[in-house]
């Protein structure tokens, strides 16, 4: 006969390949804590409603606690023939307490069971990721405070644009991480409804108290439609979407670390803790941690794409296709967790070369916009004309092979006779940075103020 947990209708064993493709225990065994928590809540509710006896419920809960201890302690023997975590736990419970174990599955199905377990797992994972993001933000804020006034070039098109500060650059990633946390928090809020009690797809004739199980599992409420409850995987898609965006943010920063640590740029150094060597070139120091963060983005984005493709053609309600919802998601969220930890470590480890950064900030006529703004403010020149005049002055400096602040006043006056020597006050990178005091600007005072705000906010160690 087939599987004893569901095989009453069947008289023959499934083909070997059928058993192989159908089995999910290698993946969903990770749901053991959530599966046992949901089963305990279900058993307690059944007893409260008089559907099973209190004595049976007590034995079931006690047995489930022992199974939890066995699995957590590595003493539990998972059986692939039992297909999934639900039937492995129930079979072991039957071994421990006998026929009473068979009452646990009253008024539920593996369909609502797995939907509940996976929601709980995703919720737990989001909470863990949120704590990691907060730690990453703290690392960024601490480094930004230390380098609020460290001048570096700001780039557009990877060309030197205007001087900024290293602290300001780091604080941009604090803002990105906060949006990432917000997306996960939104996903968590929407997923926090309980499918348990929806049974296979149509609900049940037993007088359940679904609000009780929802409350015991810290859900906000039970899901209102039984078809939706067992077939919805939006909660996974939303979490993966948030993960994909977050991984892109981390990858962008990782790419900058790779560029900045190159000897050709030399803005940063990473220690031996976050670099590796070459098997043939003894001089090499490779930023492999950053490169791997950059690479894992493909895995995370790929998991989102894969599940979207799985779900896009499925009619209601549950389909076995949904068994593919877990492996990619678990892998992707684990990869994101690893990436956040690696980035937080690299931020704390990195040592910027302030002199190299400052020198680079002055290259490429990066204070040209400051010159144009000075012409507008001081000479009342329309900005478009000031832009044109500045371009001519830059061209003159380029012909003479000097920076703007080294170009003689006489050379500037040939282009705009009204220019005075006061113009030199705005042409240094330090003065350029200090002048950017508008809200959100790069001035050191701004960076310090914002970093201290974030330091206070993150110090509370709660969802922010």
From CA 418, how far away is CA 78, in angstroms rounded? 85
Catalytic residue among 157, 205, 279, 438: 157
Identify whether the C-beta of residue 148 lies closer than 8 Å to the C-beta of residue 448: yes
Burial bucket for residue 74 (CB in 10 Å: 0-12, 13-18, 19+): exposed
User: What are 23's two structure tokens?
Assistant: 């089995």
User: What are 330's two structure tokens?
Assistant: 């678990």
Note the Cα 366 to chain centre separation in Å: 34
Cα–Cα nearest to 238, from 123, 111, 117, 112: 123
Give yes or no: 11 in active site. Answer: no
Burial bucket for residue 326 (CB in 10 Å: 0-12, 13-18, 19+): buried
Cα–Cα nearest to 344, from 298, 293, 416: 293
| C-alpha dihedral, 63 to 67 to 68 to 70, nearest 10° | 140
From CA 348, how far away is CA 137, in angstroms rounded? 11
From CA 418, how far away is CA 407, in angstroms rounded? 16
From CA 69, how far away is CA 78, in angstroms rounded? 14
Give yes or no: 305 in active site. Answer: no
User: What are 3's two structure tokens?
Assistant: 């599987």
Identify whether the C-beta of residue 194 lies closer than 8 Å to the C-beta of residue 219: yes
| Cis amide bond preceding 317, omega within 30 | yes
For the annotated catalytic residues, the residue numbers are 157, 278
């Amino acid at each position: 006969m087939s599987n004893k947990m569901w095989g009453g209708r069947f008289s023959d064993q499934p083909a070997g390949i059928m058993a192989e493709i159908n089995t999910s225990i290698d993946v969903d065994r990770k749901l053991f804590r959530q599966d046992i928590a949901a089963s305990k809540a279900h058993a307690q509710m059944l007893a409260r409603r008089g559907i099973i006896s209190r004595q049976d419920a007590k034995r079931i809960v006690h047995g489930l606690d022992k199974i939890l201890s066995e699995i957590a302690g590595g003493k539990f023997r998972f059986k692939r023939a039992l297909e999934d975590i639900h039937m492995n736990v129930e079979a072991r419970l039957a071994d421990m307490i006998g026929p009473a174990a068979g009452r646990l599955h009253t008024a539920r199905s593996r369909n609502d069971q797995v939907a509940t377990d996976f929601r709980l797992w995703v919720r737990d994972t989001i909470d863990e990721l949120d704590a990691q993001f907060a730690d990453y933000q703290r690392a960024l804020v601490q480094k930004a405070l230390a380098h609020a006034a460290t001048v570096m070039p700001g780039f557009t098109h990877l060309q030197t644009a205007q001087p900024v500060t290293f602290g300001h650059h780091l604080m941009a990633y604090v803002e990105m991480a906060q949006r990432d946390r917000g997306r996960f928090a939104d996903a968590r809020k929407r997923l926090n409804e309980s499918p348990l009690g929806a049974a296979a797809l149509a609900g049940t004739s037993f007088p359940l108290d679904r609000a009780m199980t929802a409350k015991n599992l810290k859900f906000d409420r039970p899901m209102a439609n039984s078809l939706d409850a067992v077939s919805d995987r939006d909660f996974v898609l939303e979490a993966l979407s948030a993960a994909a965006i977050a991984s892109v943010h981390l990858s962008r920063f990782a790419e900058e670390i790779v560029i900045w640590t190159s000897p050709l740029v030399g803005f940063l150094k990473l220690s031996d803790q976050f670099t590796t060597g070459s098997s043939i070139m003894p001089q090499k120091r490779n930023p492999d941690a950053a490169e791997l963060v950059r690479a894992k983005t493909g895995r995370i984005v790929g998991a989102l794409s894969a599940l979207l493709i799985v779900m896009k053609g499925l009619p209601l309600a549950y389909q076995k296709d949904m068994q593919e919802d877990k492996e990619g998601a678990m892998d992707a969220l684990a990869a994101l967790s690893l990436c956040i930890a690696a980035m937080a470590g690299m931020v704390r480890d990195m040592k910027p070369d302030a002199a190299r950064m400052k020198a680079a900030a002055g290259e490429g006529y990066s204070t040209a916009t400051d010159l144009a703004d000075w012409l507008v403010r001081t000479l009342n020149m329309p900005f478009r004309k000031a832009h044109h005049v500045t371009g001519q002055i830059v061209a003159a400096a380029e012909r003479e092979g000097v920076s703007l602040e080294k170009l003689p006043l006489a050379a500037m006056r040939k282009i705009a006779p009204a220019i005075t020597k006061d113009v030199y006050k705005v042409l240094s990178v330090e003065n350029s940075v200090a002048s950017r005091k508008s809200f959100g600007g790069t001035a050191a005072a701004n960076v310090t103020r914002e970093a201290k705000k974030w330091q206070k906010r993150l110090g509370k160690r709660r969802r922010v």
